[in-house]
Amino acid sequence: MPLRQRLKADLGAAMREGDTQLVGVIRTLLGAIGNAGAVELDASHPTEVQGWAEAPRRHLTAEDILGVLRREAEELRSAAAEYAAHGQPEEAARLHRSAGYVERYLAGPS
């Protein structure tokens, strides 16, 4: 199953299970993937069509998506280190758990 579809399926499962931390991580990942597909608009693109924004999207390869996940995992690890350095071990541990969730997706299907 493609990674984006797996994330969406896992989001539903995490929501049913009430795993709020995993729900937050997956939503962040899906948002980051969506943002990575955005393209810069120029004047030739309409800004609004019948109330809905219409914009072209860039096709992301599997490697592009993995790159997004790698960046997200690195940001979480970096933030965890910052919190630990500032004497906030509980938040650091939460961020490390979040990075662990992301790293499971980087490891491939489970």
Interval 60-87: pLDDT, tens: 999 999 999 999 999 999 999 999 999 9
Instruction: Give me the domains of the chain, ranges plus CATH numbers.
Output: 3-38+50-106 (1.10.1510.10)
The torsion angles phi and psi of 94, rounded to 5 degrees, stand at: -60, -45
Q: State the Cα–Cα distance between residues 55 and 58, nearest whole angstrom.
A: 10
The pTM is what?
0.83
Nearest alpha-carbon partner for 60 in 32, 40, 21, 98: 32
Over its length of 110 residues, how does the chain's per-residue pLDDT go in tens digits? 899 999 999 999 999 999 999 999 999 999 999 999 887 766 665 555 555 566 667 889 999 999 999 999 999 999 999 999 999 999 999 999 999 999 999 997 75
By the 8 A CB rule, do 72 and 105 touch? no
